[in-house]
Every structure is written in C-alpha cells, then in structure tokens.
C-alpha cells in the first residue's frame, strides 16, 4: 500500500480549490504516481487554469462541448457543468453549448451530454397523453 504524504494530500486539496472538482483518476494518480500527475497537471494548468485570453467560464463551456463530442463519462462532463454553473452560467447556456455538438458529432454524442445535463439540473420534459414506448434514460 502506498503511503500518502502531506505534500500529496495538499496537492489534491489545492486541485479541488483551483478547479472546483476532482476526478477519480486525479486522486489515484496523485497517490500512485505523483510525479506523473504533477506533469499532467502542469499542462492542464497552463492551458486551462492559468488566466489567459479566454475567461474561465468560456473555457468550461468549451470543455463541456469537447467532452460531449468525445463521449466522456457523465461524471467528467458534469464536473465541468457544475463549475460553469458556479461561475454564473445558466442551465440554458450549458444546453446551448451542448447543442453545438450536434453538427460535429451527431445525435448519439449529443444525447450523452444532454443526459449529463438533464441529471445535473434536474430538467424534466412533457409527457405524452397518448400511449408511447418509453425508452430508459442512459
């Protein structure tokens, strides 16, 4: 079993403070291969977290679209949606961003991002008044 140093613990805690979330792979990599995690995070910090021309909210919306197109896990997409909401985006702003995936990646990729959004913001729909097959949500 790998011991966790105070430096590693502080690293994960700082990651949460800086990003607003932490993914499972961050936690495992920080414990199991701290050197590699710091290298990976250095690139992420330079391109995503460091203040540059694009503001953080714009970067979050770009992340949401790119993760949707790539069909990332629901949790990973939702982590960026949560940060976007915390930064002032509305649920409608995020839905509009997800819709950008449609012409580039198609309906299946869009539906993955949409399901993540629907669960996060608890969006409901209109129920038909006629008999219909109801496919389970992904």
How far is it between the farthest Cα atoms of the chain? Answer: 61
Closest CA to 113 of 88, 138, 132: 138
Under the banding of pLDDT at 50, 70 and 90, the label for residue 138 is: low
Q: What average pLDDT does range 47-66 have in this prediction?
A: 94
Q: What is the pLDDT of residues 113-124, one digit of tens each?
A: 999 999 999 999
pTM of the model: 0.82
* 116 and 80 in a common domain: yes
How far is residue 106's CA from residue 18's CA, in Å, rounded to a whole number? 33
* 71 and 101 in a common domain: yes
Its domain, for residue 41, covers: 1-50
* 79 and 62 in a common domain: yes
* 66 and 46 in a common domain: no
């Amino acid at each position: 079993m790998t011991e966790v140093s105070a430096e590693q613990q502080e690293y994960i805690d700082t990651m949460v403070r800086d990003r607003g979330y932490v993914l499972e792979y961050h936690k495992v990599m920080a414990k199991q291969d701290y050197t590699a995690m710091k290298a990976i995070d250095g690139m992420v910090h330079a391109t995503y977290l460091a203040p540059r021309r694009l503001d953080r909210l714009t970067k979050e919306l770009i992340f949401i679209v790119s993760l949707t197109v790539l069909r990332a896990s629901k949790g990973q997409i939702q982590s960026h949606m949560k940060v976007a909401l915390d930064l002032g985006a509305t649920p409608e702003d995020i839905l509009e961003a997800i819709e950008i995936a449609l012409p580039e990646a198609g309906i299946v990729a869009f539906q993955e991002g949409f399901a993540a959004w629907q669960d996060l913001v608890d969006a409901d729909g209109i129920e038909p008044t006629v008999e219909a097959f109801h496919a389970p949500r992904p």
